[in-house]
Structure 1
Amino acid sequence: MNSGPAPADRRPGGALEAEVLALLQSSPQPLTPGEVLERLDNGLAYSTVVTVLSRMFDKGLLTRSKQGRAYAYAPVTDTHGLTARRMRQVLESDSDRQAVLTRFVEELPSSDEQLLRQLLGELGEG
């Protein structure tokens, strides 16, 4: 017999991680699992929060430091930095970077292409 939550009660994949990440990004200091659990206030088990934080740390999304008997967690970067990191990971997963970058630029709206050209020009001047 399954004693877990009914399928309708489950979050879509990654939703809890996104919720935890948003909470940590809005916090001025790192948070322990107990503090995360308290602030989420959604009936999760402490062990679930520890597991999610540990997995996020293992994925490189969070840093952690010892705080008493627990770890305190903080995001490695802001939302934009995490998106850029995911983009780089996807790029690095293909063996033909030039083809991927060419397709990427070809499919950009002209305003994004202009912004990219401007940013690359500024980086080249530095």
Structure 2
Amino acid sequence: MRGFGQLEAEIMERLWSWGRPATVREVVDDLNAVRPVAYTTVNTVADILFRKGFLHRAKEGRAWVYEPVRSREAYTAEVMREVLGGAGDPRAALMLFVDGMDEGQAAVLREALADRPADGDR
């Protein structure tokens, strides 16, 4: 899995934040409020995201309606696992990651680790 390109990320962010299926027209209209983008371009990129397995789509009338397959959090966790798995020294990578956290992020990490079930409980 790799990160998204700019337009892929913009499409995914909108769909994640809306929390509902949406048509390409809705995405285009929202993007055009920020910058110009062609309907055909967004349609092509949404189709690519579907073929890559990031979006689900269903026909509604003549239009495709798209929604994310995974939540933003599930996608982020998968990217983090992949990056960590590619690190030569995962412990060193984790330590550098933790060292770069602000206190609020570190508190969230401590809380998440405390709430994590033991290996036998999964």
* TM-score for both structures, normalised by structure 1: 0.61
Match of 1:49 in 2: 42
Match of 2:52 in 1: 59
* TM-score for both structures, normalised by structure 2: 0.62
Q: 1:37 aligns with which of 6, 15, 28?
A: 28
Aligned residue identity for 2:36: G
- CA RMSD for the aligned pairs? 3.3
Distance 1:38 1:83, change over 3 A: same
Deviations 1:23-68 (A, max 9, x none): 1111132111111111111321111011111111122221111111
Match of 1:10 in 2: none
Gaps (5+ residues) in structure 1?
1-12, 106-111
Greater relative contact order: 1 or 2 (C-alpha under 8 angstroms, separation 6 or more)? Answer: 2
How far 1:119 sits from its partner (Å)?
A: 5.5
Distance 2:39 2:9 in 1: 17
Distance 1:43 1:119, change over 3 A: closer
Match of 2:102 in 1: none
Gaps (5+ residues) in structure 2?
99-104
Match of 2:6 in 1: 15
Matched, 1:82 2:52: no
Structure exhibiting the larger radius of gyration computed from Cα positions: 1
Q: Secondary structure at the match of 2:57?
A: strand
The alignment-based identity, stated in percent, is 42
Distance 2:18 2:63 in 1: 18
